[in-house]
Amino acid sequence: MLDRAELEAVGRPLARQRWAGVIDAVGGTILAGTLSGLHHSGIASTCGLAASAEYPGNALPFILRGISLLGIDSVRTPVERREAAWQRLARDLDPARLDAVTHTIALAEAQDVAAELLAGRGTGRIVVDAKTN
């Protein structure tokens, strides 16, 4: 597991090349940290701004490593394109991988779990079951 603090620290604009691609749902310093560690011609896709809409990085990874940053707009994406994406996921994604990163909690646990997430100690996906206590 990667410690979030590694990516939050604003460091050099070009870090050690670690990833061919990145999917980011956080933004801010974490996005800047991941972009600085992409391999040459790497691709990052961002779909959220949970930490910040600000980008504290710079242009060096784009220029010197030729990386690409692609945004995901799930709000205005045409229905046909969404359906094609869901069909592809249904065909290619192993459900066991989703099960490995997903856990269910009772509604009564939501406040404590939310505090952990806000403190940067959460991973995966959490499903809140409002029918259990």
Domain of residue 3, CATH code: 3.40.50.720
Whether 25 and 83 share a structural domain: yes
Q: What is the span of the domain harbouring residue 98? A: 94-133
Whether 49 and 37 share a structural domain: yes
C-alpha 48/C-alpha 92 separation (Å) is 23
Whether 1 and 64 share a structural domain: yes
Other CB atoms within a 10 A radius of the CB of residue 100 amount to 10
Q: Residue 58: is its pLDDT beyond 70? A: yes
pLDDT per position as a tens digit, 12-50:
889 999 999 999 988 999 899 999 999 999 999 998 888
Q: Please list, residue by residue across 59-71, b when 16 or more beta carbons sit within 10 angstroms of its beta carbon and e when fewer do.
A: eebeeebebebee
Tally of structural domains, the chain: 2
Q: Check residue 5 and give its pLDDT.
A: 77
Q: Residue 88: is its pLDDT beyond 90? A: yes
Element (H, E) at 8: helix 4-8
- Say which residue, 51 or 9, is predicted with more confidence: 51
Q: Check residue 19 and give its pLDDT.
A: 93
Q: Residue 107: is its pLDDT beyond 70? A: yes
Kindly report the three-state secondary structure assignment for every residue of 36-100.
HCEEEEEEEEECCCCCECCCCCCCHHHHHCCCEEEECCCCCCCHHHHHHHHHHHHHHCCHHHHHH
Q: Check residue 49 and give its pLDDT.
A: 87
How much of the chain, in percent, has pLDDT values that exceed 90? 56
Tokens of 87: 């069909």
Whether 119 and 130 share a structural domain: yes
Whether 113 and 62 share a structural domain: no
Q: What are the distances in angstroms from CA 20 to CA 12, 66, 105, 124?
A: 19, 12, 33, 21
Q: Check residue 105 and give its pLDDT.
A: 93
Q: Residue 6: is its pLDDT beyond 80? A: no
Whether 129 and 72 share a structural domain: no
Tokens of 106: 């009772």
